[in-house]
Each structure stands twice: as structure tokens, then as C-alpha cells.
Amino acid sequence: MQKMTLKHTKELDIFFNEHRRNCTNCGKTFVEGDTAHLGYMKGRDAALLCDDCAPMLEETVVRYYWQELEYEEPLPDDKLWRYMDLAKFVSLISRNELFFCAASSFEDIFEGAKGVEKNKEKWDAFYLDFFKHAVSTAPGRNPCDNTHEKIIEEANCLLNQIEKVGQKSREYTYISCWHLNSYESEAMWKLYSKDAANAIAIQTTTKRLYEAFDKDPTISIGKIKYIDFDKNFAPINGAFWYKRKSFEYENEVRAVISKIHSSGKGVFIPISIDKLIEKIYISPYASEWFVDVVKSLVEKYCVKADVTYSMMKARPFY
């Protein structure tokens, strides 16, 4: 088997993200557990190949144990909204950076949670069994180490480690939340701006958001799944894609980035404002003068997007 060169480039990682579902030569759909071979064909074209096609690679950069994503991707043209007050809007367009909040700084203490405390014993018992099996059947393990005490000790150690990593990941996982909706939402105007009279909403699409981050392969964009934590657990590696049912109205899509060496309440990530913003909506509760303020700001910072009064501002006839 060809040796992996591990010469990753951003372009190759983008290629992987955009083609991860099928072998780029024969079209075979990857399933959980397959090996995916990422590298270059003759002529330096990037390729992601299945086992059968892998010998065609001139350079194998890396072999992945193929896994399904932990989240569902929204469609490229899905409309995403972010409702905010004027200060946040000015910060965005003047810095050309989007603020990602640390999971540990969210009001929702279930950010990154695997389950509810009262069910923790069940979770621990499951993973303890899992680790006991993994430890005792690990390839190359010395049979002398397979005493009952030793296996329990090692399995417990692994269980403690996942708990520590789970806690720690809340500090280095950063999130930007968006509302998925084909239309403007009355509830969101009131919810996401402390002062609905001075609020704006920017509307983008999944594709725009992805391109505005310059396709950064370290940023994941996915839909939140709402589950009943009383009866379910979030998956061990996907806890940031799960929230409680009581948040279902948010219909959230989020961009998530891990920054192991960062700490604090959040990080600013560079973003192309023109690629990001399709339209800017002004709160239906805002006064005329507020519309002028936003228009002049948009002009000052050379933002190309249209500024529109909320669609809810339209007058009815009877």
C-alpha cells in the first residue's frame, strides 16, 4: 500500500469536504467504516478514491476511516437569518469579522451536553462496558495485562478522560448561530434584539456563508437537531449539534469552529461582508430615521447589499 505523505493543503481539505460522499473516480457511495483515499492523480488533480480505485493515486496524502457527518448540512440555497442590534451590525461591517461565541459562554447550560444529570449513570455504564471491551481486545495487548482489575482500571481512566474532554470542549468550541427560514420572523425580531426598534437582520444563504469564510475547511455549517434529553443522549462526538426540544422554534443552523489554543468568551473570524450579506432588513418597529442611519453606515463601509424595510412593514388593504 502506498505510503501517506500527510502533505495537507487547505485546497485539498476543501476538496475533501466538497466531495466526501462518493469516490471521485467510480462514483461509489462511501458508507461508515469504508476507507477513503485522498490524494492526487497523475497531472496533480485532487481525488478521493475508494479501495478499488485507490491504486490510481500518484500520491496518497491521507487515508480516512470514512464516517458520516455528525450533523445534517443545510441546502446551499437555504436562507439564513441573523437578527442583531445596531452595535453588533457596526462591529460586523467595520471589522469584517464575525463573532463566534464560546460554547461555555452561552446562556443555555446544555451547550455541549451529552444528557441530563439524572441519566448519567446509564451513560457511564454504557461507555464503561464499551471501553472494557475495547481495552481487553486491543490488538497487540499483552495477555498478562488482561486481569479483571487492570481492565476496570483502564476503562475507568478512559471514561474520566471523555468527561474531562467534554467539559474542556465547551471552552474551545466557538459557535455562530443562524436562524433557518424562508421568511422573516416576527418572533425573531423580538427575541434576538434587546431593543426591537433598533434592530436589523442580515439575510444570507448557506452557500454565501460558506464562501464568505473563504470555504474554510475547519468551519462546519450544520443544522441543530432538537431532542428530548430526558429520553436521549447526544452522540459522543456531536454534542454541539444537539439542543433541547424546547428550543425547536429557533430552527438553528450554526457555524462551528474548534480553537484548542483560544480561551475567553469568543473569537472573531474574518469574513467577506459582500459575499455574506444578500439583504439587510430593518426592524418593522424601527423609525424612519433609523433606516437612514443604517443606509449611511452601509454606504460608509461600502457594503453592497440592499437595505430594505422589514417586509412586515407593508400596509394591508381590506
Q: Which residues lie near Zn ion (CB under 5 A)?
A: 23, 25-26, 28, 50, 53
DSSP states of the chain: -PPB-----HHHHHHHHHHTTB-TTT-PBP-TT-EEEEEE-TTS-EEEE-TTTGGG-SEEEEEEE----SSBPPPTT-EEEEEEEHHHHHHHHHHTEEEEEEGGGSS-TTTT--S-GGGHHHHHHHHHHHHHHHHHT-TT--GGG--HHHHHHHHHHHHHHHHHHHHHHHHHEEEEEEEE-SS--HHHHHHS-SSGGGEEEEEEEHHHHHHHTTT-TT-EEEEPEEE-TTT----TT-GGGEEEGGGGGG-EEEEEEE-TT--SSEEEEE--HHHH-SEEEE-TT--HHHHHHHHHHHHHTT--SEEEE-GGGPPP--
Q: Which is nearer to Zn ion, 22 or 181 (CB)?
A: 22
Q: Which is nearer to Zn ion, 28 or 275 (CB)?
A: 28
Q: Which is nearer to Zn ion, 43 or 140 (CB)?
A: 43
Q: How far is the CB of 49 from Zn ion (least distance, A)?
A: 5
Q: Which is nearer to Zn ion, 32 or 149 (CB)?
A: 32
Q: How far is the CB of 57 from Zn ion (least distance, A)?
A: 11
The grid coordinates listed for 2 are: 502506498
Q: Which is nearer to Zn ion, 23 or 267 (CB)?
A: 23
Q: Which is nearer to Zn ion, 18 or 274 (CB)?
A: 18
Q: Which is nearer to Zn ion, 50 or 276 (CB)?
A: 50
Q: How far is the CB of 17 from Zn ion (least distance, A)?
A: 19
The grid coordinates listed for 191 are: 427575541
Q: How far is the CB of 56 from Zn ion (least distance, A)?
A: 9
Q: How far is the CB of 19 from Zn ion (least distance, A)?
A: 12
Q: How far is the CB of 33 from Zn ion (least distance, A)?
A: 16
**What angle separates helix 86-95 from helix 288-300, to the nearest 10 degrees?**
10
User: In sequence order, which residues have a C-beta less than 8 Å from that of residue 306 and are 6 or more positions away?
Assistant: 279, 280
Q: Which is nearer to Zn ion, 43 or 316 (CB)?
A: 43
Q: How far is the CB of 24 from Zn ion (least distance, A)?
A: 8
Q: How far is the CB of 50 from Zn ion (least distance, A)?
A: 4
The grid coordinates listed for 31 are: 458508507
